[in-house]
Amino acid sequence: MSIFASVIIKGAKGFRPNFFVETMQTTTPDDELNLGGAGHAIIGSMLMVIIATFITLPLGILSGVYLTEVRGRLTFWVRFVVQSMSGVPSIVAGLFIYTTFIDLTNSFSGMAGSLALAVLMLPTVARTAEEVLKLVPDDLRSAS
C-alpha cells in the first residue's frame, strides 16, 4: 500500500487536465513533471490493439469454423494448438515475437507488439467462435 501511496503523492503534481492529450514530443528526461503527457502512449496502444484485432479476427473465426464444421484429421491438432496457446503466459508470447521478429529485422516496431497481442488474442477468439457456432441449431446449419 505504501508503494501505491508514494506513486499517488509524487505523481499528483504531474497530473493535470490535458495530461491525456499532450505528447512527450518536446520534453526531455530532465524536464519538470508538468510538461508532456500520455497522448502518444494512449494512441500507440490503441493502434497496436486495432492491428492485433485485424490480424486475430479472421484467423480466430476461421479456426472456429474449421473446428466446428470440419471433421478432418487436422481438427484434433488445431484444437490442441488453440488450447495450448490459451495457457501461454504473455511474457512467453513476447519473447517468441522478440526472438523471431525483432532479431530477424534488427528493429523495434509497433507491429511486433501487435503480433504479440495477436498471439495472446487468437486462442480466445477461436474458442469463442467455436462455442458460438456450436450453439447454432442443426436445422439452421443444414439449411445453410
Q: Are residues 115 and 48 in the same domain?
A: yes
Query: Does pTM top 0.85 for this prediction?
Result: no
Give the per-residue pLDDT at 91: 93
Q: Are residues 45 and 33 in the same domain?
A: no
pLDDT tens across 42-79, in order? 899 999 999 999 999 999 999 999 999 888 889 999 99
Q: Which positions of the chain have pLDDT values less than 50?
A: none
Give the per-residue pLDDT at 21: 78
Q: Are residues 110 and 71 in the same domain?
A: yes
Residue range(s) defining the domain that contains residue 50: 40-143
Give the per-residue pLDDT at 64: 93
Per-residue buried b or exposed e for 34-62, using 16+ beta carbons within 10 Å of the residue's own CB? eebbebeeeeeeeebeebbeebbeeebbe
Give the per-residue pLDDT at 120: 93
Q: Are residues 72 and 26 in the same domain?
A: no
